[in-house]
Amino acid sequence: MGTSLDAHNVRREFRNAIRGIKGIYANAWTPRELRHSFVSLLSDDGGLSIDEIAKTCGHASTAVTETVYRHQIRPVIQTGALAMDRIFDDLGDA
């Protein structure tokens, strides 16, 4: 519509988009979780430096990227990957 995005509307539309996915409680998710996952995956095994990841996220320095968004996820990546396989498999059945 050409108007600025309001944070509340973005959260609402994001939750509407994921509502109905088996195993996902939509009201507990925000777009921010996607950002955390993105940074964590890239920093864990994406082959990018922390400087490149920070630039990709629009951070002026690596401080925010490292302290807020970067979480090492290797110990749970297999569990997460299996969960994602189930989610996407269930979507294919819909």
Quote the percentage of the chain above a pLDDT of 70. 82
Q: Dihedral through CA 44, CA 48, CA 49, CA 54, nearest 10?
A: -90
pLDDT at 73 over 70: no
Nearest in space to 31 (alpha carbons), one of 17, 14, 48 = 14
Residue with the larger pLDDT of the pair 35 and 2: 35
pLDDT at 94 over 80: no
pLDDT at 75 over 60: no
**Distance (Å, whole) CA 71 – CA 38:** 10
